[in-house]
Amino acid sequence: MTSDLNRGDRLVKKQIISLNRHLPRQRKFLDDLILEERPHVVGADSVRHRFKKDELKKISEILDISEHHLLKLPIYIEIDSNASGSRISGRLENKVVCKILDLKNCNNETYLYKPDIKMLRKELPTTTQYIFLVR
Protein backbone atom coordinates (compact mmCIF):
# COMPACT_ATOMS: atom_id res chain seq x y z
CA MET A 1 0.00 0.00 0.00
CA THR A 2 2.78 2.48 0.90
CA SER A 3 4.63 1.81 -2.33
CA ASP A 4 1.45 2.60 -4.30
CA LEU A 5 1.14 5.90 -2.44
CA ASN A 6 4.79 6.77 -3.13
CA ARG A 7 4.33 5.78 -6.76
CA GLY A 8 1.24 8.00 -6.97
CA ASP A 9 3.12 10.92 -5.44
CA ARG A 10 5.96 10.43 -7.91
CA LEU A 11 3.54 10.37 -10.83
CA VAL A 12 1.88 13.59 -9.69
CA LYS A 13 5.27 15.29 -9.29
CA LYS A 14 6.26 14.19 -12.81
CA GLN A 15 3.04 15.68 -14.17
CA ILE A 16 3.69 18.95 -12.34
CA ILE A 17 7.20 19.11 -13.76
CA SER A 18 5.69 18.57 -17.19
CA LEU A 19 3.19 21.39 -16.60
CA ASN A 20 6.07 23.75 -15.69
CA ARG A 21 8.15 23.12 -18.83
CA HIS A 22 7.01 26.48 -20.22
CA LEU A 23 8.77 28.36 -17.41
CA PRO A 24 11.88 30.28 -18.38
CA ARG A 25 15.31 28.84 -17.72
CA GLN A 26 16.19 32.24 -16.38
CA ARG A 27 13.97 35.24 -15.74
CA LYS A 28 15.16 38.69 -16.82
CA PHE A 29 15.10 42.04 -15.06
CA LEU A 30 12.62 44.68 -16.20
CA ASP A 31 15.32 47.23 -17.04
CA ASP A 32 17.09 44.72 -19.31
CA LEU A 33 13.87 43.74 -21.08
CA ILE A 34 12.97 47.38 -21.75
CA LEU A 35 16.25 47.79 -23.65
CA GLU A 36 15.75 44.70 -25.83
CA GLU A 37 14.39 45.18 -29.33
CA ARG A 38 12.36 41.97 -28.99
CA PRO A 39 12.03 41.34 -25.25
CA HIS A 40 11.84 37.64 -24.44
CA VAL A 41 12.93 34.76 -22.24
CA VAL A 42 13.59 31.16 -23.27
CA GLY A 43 11.62 28.41 -21.57
CA ALA A 44 12.95 25.13 -20.25
CA ASP A 45 11.28 23.61 -23.32
CA SER A 46 13.49 25.90 -25.50
CA VAL A 47 10.48 27.91 -26.69
CA ARG A 48 10.91 31.68 -26.82
CA HIS A 49 8.36 33.62 -24.75
CA ARG A 50 7.95 37.19 -25.98
CA PHE A 51 6.87 40.11 -23.80
CA LYS A 52 4.66 42.87 -25.16
CA LYS A 53 6.39 46.23 -24.93
CA ASP A 54 3.21 47.98 -23.80
CA GLU A 55 3.03 45.65 -20.78
CA LEU A 56 6.66 46.36 -19.92
CA LYS A 57 5.89 50.08 -20.17
CA LYS A 58 2.82 49.72 -17.93
CA ILE A 59 4.88 47.88 -15.29
CA SER A 60 7.72 50.41 -15.53
CA GLU A 61 5.24 53.22 -14.84
CA ILE A 62 3.98 51.47 -11.69
CA LEU A 63 7.47 50.97 -10.23
CA ASP A 64 10.02 53.62 -9.30
CA ILE A 65 12.86 53.75 -11.80
CA SER A 66 15.21 52.62 -9.03
CA GLU A 67 13.21 49.37 -8.79
CA HIS A 68 13.42 48.42 -12.49
CA HIS A 69 16.67 46.51 -11.99
CA LEU A 70 15.12 44.49 -9.14
CA LEU A 71 11.94 43.09 -10.71
CA LYS A 72 12.36 39.81 -12.57
CA LEU A 73 9.84 38.87 -15.23
CA PRO A 74 7.63 37.05 -15.82
CA ILE A 75 5.72 37.47 -12.58
CA TYR A 76 4.73 34.02 -11.34
CA ILE A 77 1.16 33.19 -10.36
CA GLU A 78 1.79 30.28 -8.00
CA ILE A 79 -0.81 27.53 -8.05
CA ASP A 80 -0.31 25.22 -5.07
CA SER A 81 -1.82 21.76 -4.80
CA ASN A 82 -2.66 22.46 -1.13
CA ALA A 83 -4.32 25.87 -1.52
CA SER A 84 -7.61 27.01 -3.01
CA GLY A 85 -6.29 30.30 -4.36
CA SER A 86 -3.17 31.38 -6.18
CA ARG A 87 -0.31 33.30 -4.65
CA ILE A 88 1.87 36.19 -5.78
CA SER A 89 5.17 36.40 -3.89
CA GLY A 90 7.63 39.25 -3.66
CA ARG A 91 7.44 42.91 -2.72
CA LEU A 92 7.75 44.35 -6.23
CA GLU A 93 5.60 41.68 -7.83
CA ASN A 94 2.86 42.51 -5.33
CA LYS A 95 3.28 46.24 -5.90
CA VAL A 96 2.56 45.69 -9.60
CA VAL A 97 -0.29 43.21 -9.10
CA CYS A 98 -1.98 45.29 -6.39
CA LYS A 99 -1.85 48.40 -8.56
CA ILE A 100 -3.29 46.56 -11.57
CA LEU A 101 -6.09 45.01 -9.47
CA ASP A 102 -6.55 48.11 -7.28
CA LEU A 103 -6.03 46.10 -4.09
CA LYS A 104 -5.22 47.72 -0.75
CA ASN A 105 -2.93 46.55 2.06
CA CYS A 106 -0.57 44.49 -0.08
CA ASN A 107 2.81 43.41 1.17
CA ASN A 108 5.16 40.56 0.19
CA GLU A 109 2.47 37.94 -0.40
CA THR A 110 -1.03 38.16 -1.84
CA TYR A 111 -3.57 35.41 -2.43
CA LEU A 112 -5.77 35.77 -5.48
CA TYR A 113 -8.88 33.93 -6.60
CA LYS A 114 -10.27 33.27 -10.05
CA PRO A 115 -11.87 36.70 -10.78
CA ASP A 116 -8.67 38.53 -9.79
CA ILE A 117 -6.47 36.13 -11.75
CA LYS A 118 -8.68 36.56 -14.80
CA MET A 119 -8.35 40.35 -14.56
CA LEU A 120 -4.58 40.16 -13.97
CA ARG A 121 -4.05 37.86 -16.97
CA LYS A 122 -6.22 40.15 -19.10
CA GLU A 123 -4.07 43.18 -18.18
CA LEU A 124 -0.68 41.41 -18.18
CA PRO A 125 -0.96 38.31 -20.39
CA THR A 126 2.70 38.10 -21.43
CA THR A 127 4.39 39.33 -18.25
CA THR A 128 2.65 36.86 -15.94
CA GLN A 129 2.89 33.07 -16.01
CA TYR A 130 1.45 30.21 -14.00
CA ILE A 131 3.78 28.04 -11.95
CA PHE A 132 2.45 24.81 -10.46
CA LEU A 133 3.74 23.79 -7.03
CA VAL A 134 3.55 20.51 -5.11
CA ARG A 135 4.33 20.39 -1.42
Q: Which residues contact 58 (CB under 8 A, 6 or more apart)?
A: 123, 124
Chain segment 93-102, per-residue pLDDT in tens: 999 999 999 9
Dist. CA 92–CA 99, nearest whole Å = 11
Domain spans of the chain?
2-133
Chain segment 110-119, per-residue pLDDT in tens: 999 999 999 9
- Cα distances (angstroms) measured from residue 88 to each of 7, 24, 47, 128, 130: 31, 17, 24, 10, 10
pTM: 0.88
